[in-house]
Structure 1
């Protein structure tokens, strides 16, 4: 399946505008449904950044905003839902698609909080609905998680994977539904331990960031966390790693944080630690101007692209 000729994006926040930029960079006619008057400008700015990073093809598509849902999705081959992570909002808008949805159109949700089975319940097009969860920035990070629900036709997932490859993304197809998908589960596990170590005073927030960004993440970018350990084990690979480190890891696992919500004290400590931790991204302070924050985001997406290229970790379908 090639790049869809017409794509509808439902919601143009950070994720939705990133999706709009990605599809437009690969030549699609993109229609945004968002009642925020700044949605079109935000999406066009994302497209400018995507092109600056070398994303897409020579023949760019277009981005236009629509305030009427039926007009936005008319004859669209791909509908990308990127609404706020609130079940009622998503369900209401998805239910409204029934009126105008083209036969054969794929409906993809960006959600990582709700499973495709939850989102598709009672919908006539459930067999054509799945989750397509990107990482941020959408147009800079070349992987997308795909997950079908109980009623999703396997062919829908196959077609979605083909579309993702057509727009330069590596589709990671999950074999079953799981809360948070894979990326957010891994992120949540790391963040809980990071929050715990910082709030207990074991390490500063700045040093923890350095240990990850200049330490363990380097191997992960080059090969992934599991392959990194297999390489480090030398001859014998992963079985040697398991035999050598199973017991030491078990001792660490026993001592890891296990709480499931931040206390008021932890939240206050993290906010206090963050205030002066990142001078290079000081525009992220609460009183920063939107233009300052946008410039920080542009620099960040550029660094991500440089790292991927240097590590040979870009994706070529």
Structure 2
């Protein structure tokens, strides 16, 4: 099993104004002369913790990480206006151009895999490779599974806490009920909903639930951006023109070297999505980790991702 690379500080941090409203925070770490790779974090709304740097050989990669609109160190915090999938795709291109990069490898897990697919299908000429984890394509069956009925049958104890802020009469449509509260003018209502939403995801992300992860996801500042932005994207079906858009457009990226890492027991983004994507995209390598859930920090997924980043570094 592979282990994380030693921690290193970023050698450069910066801000990039991407609209009149939004400014994104970015950083570069590793080797300034290394192979460029951009990390697209999850959520949407998750931000980039420093531990992400440790998945990449520091002497081989020039790693670019940025906090997507409204989260992490990007501003304004938890902002939903001008915040769509296609705004983020444009931001990635603006950042690539700003940094003077011709082509880069794209690394993304969970929502980051969604955004990686959307970006690469829009700008295939800019992608030297894709490393994807925990495939999520924002289809209705995926949203229903996690936020309405499905995962609830595996984690009924955590589900009970997730539904608590929502009156029984509104529980037939949990996404809409949560969106109403996450956009409320009442701060207390927003925070209660944000914490319950975020802790539900943290409770289900690992094969063996992790209390520390739940506590970090319950932090008010993190939960507010995470829950608001996620729910905003999900009630709008990810701003896709069709729910199967990302799988239908595989032909645009079929030629790009790709590895997909998927936990067998991923409850947040069940393996069926990775399987169906792979069926449409046989050229992509699918690695199934037999003893893992959703989190990239689970030992088997961590090891497979580091194997993949090492392999792509030497292409």
TM over 0.5: no
Normalized per residue, the structure richer in helix is: 1
TM bucket (normalised to shorter chain) is under 0.3
Question: Max radius of gyration: which structure?
Answer: 1
Structure having greater relative contact order (Cα 8 Å, sep ≥ 6): 2
